[in-house]
Amino acid sequence: MTPESYHFGTRLAVRCDYYAFPRTGSHYLWAGLTGLLDLVFFPNEHVDNPEARQRADELNPHAYYALRLREDGVPFQPVYLNASAQGLHGQPVAGGWPLLVLIRDPHPTVYSLYHTARDRWNAQVTDRVAWLHETYQSYRDFYSKAFALETASPDKVLLLRYEELLASPAPLHRIVRFLGVQPKLSPEFVHWWTDFERFTRPGQRTFFRAGNNGKWREDAAWLADLQRAAPGDFAAFGYPDRR
């Protein structure tokens, strides 16, 4: 058994490399994938560690129970999503496998990253304007590579948007078609259970924070620093500046 030929029992797993930058919604998407797919993993430090278990405490246990169910008659179809082909949150590259790439509007993404790092991991940012400029550039580099890969090989790259995942089950249908498997639960059922307010616990949360793209616009000090950081325009990636 190797990552290139991953048999789960006697079944050869469908493999797909997965790429997403921090706070683009990977953990939200993974909840949906839990409902759609028979996910299998090599043991790794990202799956079972104190941080991962603490994140799980912010989720509704009834939702995860429902997402682990299976409709009658659906066969077991192992799927191996390699989420660290280039390291955790690494830049997307063509490595011979289909690619699943998740993106999100950079403005709420960077805002969420900053507050999660500060409030959950006690990160210290001494120059927020400089941090903003550098972080936006990192996202721009990631998105540029992802879109270039999609343009070069549209049949091998599935680009997902966090906003579309929230809006309807259509992206979940696209995922199972792309992987060539039968969903173990219907995408409509999975989408209903992964409604952000339904699949998170009520109350204060530090990882699964708000699930919406609008809070950054209400922060006057943030908007002032963002103006000084001059992050540039992301319209080429489908995210025009609407400040």
Q: Which residues of the chain have pLDDT under 70?
A: 1-10, 43-55, 205-212, 242-243
Residue 67 is predicted with a pLDDT of 92
Q: Among 80, 10, 78, which residue's Cα sits nearest to residue 38?
A: 78
Print the domain residue range for 75: 7-105+148-210
Residue 159 falls inside a structural domain? yes
Q: Report d(CA 42, CA 160) in Å as an integer.
A: 24
Bridge partner list, 99: 17, 157
Residue type, 174: R
CB 146 within 8 A of CB 101: yes
Report CA 8 to chain centroid distance, whole Å. 24
Long-range contacts for 39-42 (Cβ within 8 Å, ≥24 apart)?
Answer: 39/78, 39/79, 39/80, 39/81, 40/6, 40/8, 40/13, 40/78, 40/79, 40/80, 41/80, 42/3, 42/6, 42/80
Residue 110 falls inside a structural domain? no
Residue 16 falls inside a structural domain? yes
Residue 202 is predicted with a pLDDT of 79
Instruction: Please give the tally of structural domains in the chain.
Output: 1
Q: Among 156, 234, 184, which residue's Cα sits nearest to residue 34?
A: 184
Residue 1 is predicted with a pLDDT of 47
Q: Report d(CA 98, CA 122) in Å as an integer.
A: 36
Residue 85 is predicted with a pLDDT of 77
Residue 112 falls inside a structural domain? no
pLDDT in tens, 28-79: 898 899 999 999 877 666 656 566 666 677 788 888 899 999 999 999 999 9
Residue 165 falls inside a structural domain? yes
Residue 58 is predicted with a pLDDT of 76
Q: Report d(CA 22, CA 30) in Å as an integer.
A: 14
Residue 171 falls inside a structural domain? yes
Residue 126 falls inside a structural domain? no
Q: What global pTM score does this model have? A: 0.87
Residue 124 falls inside a structural domain? no
Residue 85's φ and ψ, nearest 5 degrees, are: -60, -35
DSSP 90: P
Q: Among 23, 37, 70, 32, which residue's Cα sits nearest to residue 198?
A: 32
